[in-house]
Chain A
Amino acid sequence: MIARSIACVDVRLGRQRADHQNPRREAWPAVPSQTRHIAQANDRWLGAVTRPPLFWRVPTRGLPRGRSIAAGTSRCPPSGLLCLVLVFGGCAGGRNYEQGRLAEQRGEPHVAYDQYCKAAAEQPRNWAIADALARVRPGASAYWEAQGLAEMDAGRYGEAWRNFMKALEVQPDSTTVARMVRQLEEQHGPAVAEARAQWLRGGDTALAQAPFPAPPPSDRAPAKVPAPPETALAAASPAGTETEVSAAGTESPEAPADSPVRAGSAAVVRAVEKVPAEEAKIRTVDSGDLPAGMPQSTPREAGEHPPAASTPPPAVEPPAPREPAHHSADEKPPEPARVQTIESSDRPDEEAGPVATETAEKRSTVSPPADTEPPAPSEEVFETPSSFEREEAEGREPGETVPAPSAPRSEPPARHVPDVPVKPVRPQYEPRRDEFLLRITLSKRDKAYPRRAPLIDGIDVRLEDTDSDLEVDLDLYRGKERIKKIRELTPGRSQIFEGNSGTLYQLKLLGVHHKSRTVRIAVRPA
């Protein structure tokens, strides 16, 4: 349209010349007369609209006949101004939209949602933004719901309330999340009272927030802090004198190492040696030694959302017993939490630490020389369907590891492992005994397992698909009616659903075997 209006103004200046230059006008004899009349009328109208006022007109007597305004020589065209306004006006909302789109591509729907919200605040009538918001909404809501469940498991009910409320704010018609919020308020009123009061005072700003995405690497000034003390798994870099601190967790395999960190994995504070981007190494940092200003147990103050940051995932200690249910937000474990550098976010429970560490150890010890190609995100560390059966036959829980008899895991000596890039690996969830009411294995390819199976309380579950990122799509059915879509569920993550009796249950993904499209899920009361 802009080009068309420019052409029309062009016509007014040097009509005869422009008529010859405008290919559409040259093509007119070929089009039907009715179309031609409409186009002529449009051009007349546009010409009237875009006609500049008199004081803009500059004498063009000296100019060659038909000199085009598009060349910008004789007048200040309104259409050009319109172009500028459109271009610069679109930049403000477009930047946030672009960041949201990138976050969406990274698989961070919650970050994308917040970015799209910022874009929508600037351009509320932009339907592309509205569509993007609608697109990422289920994923964002599911993320905050999972975070809330993880916080609830850890006994931090205030944080759980904030996360559930955020999930509800994203998806206001979610009945299960609304019930979880009410249940939290009824059962743990004092623990959530402060969070609720803050919300009443400040509105949505008091709810859980996705971390602000980091600026591009060129703009980013890394916070330089002293190197943390070497601990168990620290892989000392020869040149590692400076440490870049960032909110962290799992990075997507596609994302470069220096890209903005995944917010979903904001479960830990990460200290990454300042090495080339593709050489992120495993490091365990004692949070008690973290420098001032680094978020330790209340990451929200730093604008981040690492909900499991204070979850005690003892990297080199035996699994701690589960915290009692009455553990309030203020009763934090006395000793400083060890912060695991990889993957704790995907294992929001306390059991996450040892397995992640074990995986890291395994990968470190068998790792190839540093100059070789890094291993692909391995599927061999994950269970296979047969391993599910084997564990059940041996009387072990799925994912339960046989403890090494002689290896005291309390304080292993600091080992220097080769500088090998380690790609993030999603560990499987390791449940405790008697934690769940039921466990089911579903498979899309393995005929030994059903694809759809009755779950509990009149609800059926159907496996839709798995993907190489070990993300699982499930659907829940009540009879023939699909009541919930669960998308991109990762091992250790949970979703809530409501049974026929109105009871709320928590569905947890225990493990995935992508090659055979087989998953292991479990259910417990929410």
Chain B
Amino acid sequence: MARQVYGSSPRAVRLFLTLTAAGWTLAGCAAPTRGPIVIYLDGAGWYTGGGGVERGLRRAGYTGAFETFTWSAFLGPAHDHLVTAHDRGLAKRLADRIAAGRKANPNESIHLIGLSAGTAVILNALETLPRGCLVENVVLLSPTVSAERDLTKAMQKVRRNLYATCSTRDAIVGTLAINADGRRGPPAGEKGFKMPRRARVATQRAYARVVNIPWKASYTGFHWDGSHTGVTDATFVAAVIAPRLLRTERHPLDRPLAAVLAVAGSGEQP
């Protein structure tokens, strides 16, 4: 009898087991995890950058969760860049996910890392986060948002620092006609963010935690040759990005925008 029952539908049993495993996996991914969380957003039409970032963080000793937030419409990079990246609903979805993670782990750190147009989604999500829901650090890799974007509101949801890598050798950023956030100005991925002129005190405080990481020739040794997606190389992430995220102290090489301008004594960017 038993042989008849089990033997009659092995295909159904196999299907049941597969579906169960897939359900557990998906449910496990969706459930908030314990410990520090890194939420990573890929660039427009670029769906494979997370591997290098995760490997770099792990290599540097990161043991927490690494989640990839998929935001692409899968209609190509142009559509992602021009349309999807500044979709408010998408930003709200990311904000909800951050809020859920914060609710599950009130004392753990949440880091956001985005590449290219994914940085626009991050900044929009930060602006829509509920009050009191903070993330620890934000890393914008080759951001294609406007360099003149005012980060004051977004920085209110960042407990520590916002890092933005930039490179004048970035061919993609250098040829962009429209920024991913739809705002005017040169992309921040070229020469970094700029603090608004005649900044108020709140803005100055916010930009005291905004750090541009421009490409240097020495970064070639860490396998970032200044290209747009080369910044996600595991070696660079492990050596340059991870020490800034995984330590609670300020990294000595951080040159916050506001501090630079205060020392320079002028409104010009260094």
Contact = CB atoms under 8 A, between A and B. Distances in A.
B264 interface: yes
A173 B255 contact: no
Contact of B218 (A120, A165, A200): A120
Given A173-B239, A175-B247, A168 B218 contact: no
A-B pairs, 7 with minimum CB distance? A133-B221, A121-B217, A120-B220, A124-B225, A120-B217, A181-B252, A200-B263
Interface in B231-270: 238-240, 242-243, 247, 249-253, 255, 259-260, 263-264, 270
A203 B255 contact: yes
A172 B225 CA distance: 17
Secondary structure type dominating chain A contacts: helix
Contacts of A178: 243, 247, 249, 251-252
B220 A170 contact: no
Interface in A108-129: 113, 116-118, 120-121, 124-126, 129
27 contacts: A120-B217, A124-B220, A124-B225, A129-B220, A130-B225, A133-B221, A165-B252, A168-B252, A169-B218, A169-B253, A172-B239, A172-B251, A172-B253, A173-B60, A173-B238, A173-B243, A175-B243, A175-B247, A178-B251, A181-B252, A182-B252, A199-B255, A200-B264, A201-B263, A201-B264, A202-B270, A203-B255
A419 to B, nearest CB: 44
A137 interface: yes
A14 B216 CA distance: 50
Contacts of B60: 173
Contacts of B270: 201-203
A420 to B, nearest CB: 43
Contacts of A113: 218
A230 B242 CA distance: 56
A426 B205 CA distance: 52
B221 A134 contact: yes
A204 interface: yes
B184 interface: no
Interface in A183-218: 185, 197, 199-204
B252 A117 contact: no
B240 A124 contact: no
A193 to B, nearest CB: 10
A33 to B, nearest CB: 38
Contacts of B169: 124
Contacts, number: 76
Nearest to B249: A182
A41 to B, nearest CB: 30
A130 B223 contact: yes
B115 to A, nearest CB: 19
Contact of A204 (B216, B226, B260): B216
Interface in B28-67: 60
B243 A133 contact: no
B238 A165 contact: no
The size class of the interface chain A forms with chain B is 20 to 34
Interface in A147-185: 165, 168-173, 175, 178, 181-182, 185
A381 B242 CA distance: 47
Contacts of A204: 216
A120 B226 CA distance: 11
Interface string A55-94: 0000000000000000000000000000000000000000
A168 B253 contact: yes
Contacts of B222: 134
Given A165-B252, A172-B253, A200 B259 contact: yes
Given A178-B251, A181-B252, A182-B252, A173 B242 contact: yes
B253 A165 contact: yes
B177 to A, nearest CB: 25
A125 B225 contact: yes
Given A173-B240, A178-B252, A200-B263, 16 more contacts: A118-B217, A120-B220, A124-B226, A133-B220, A134-B221, A134-B222, A165-B253, A170-B218, A173-B238, A173-B239, A175-B247, A181-B252, A197-B263, A200-B255, A200-B260, A202-B270
Contacts of A117: 216-218
Nearest to B239: A173
B237 to A, nearest CB: 10
Given A173-B60, A173-B242, A201-B263, A130 B217 contact: no
A116 B217 CA distance: 9
Contact of A172 (B217, B220, B240): B240
Contacts of B250: 182
A169 B220 CA distance: 13
Contacts of B217: 117-118, 120-121, 124
B265 to A, nearest CB: 9
Interface string B165-176: 000010000000
A110 B247 CA distance: 27
Contacts of A129: 220
Contacts of B243: 172-173, 175, 178
Contacts of B225: 124-125, 130
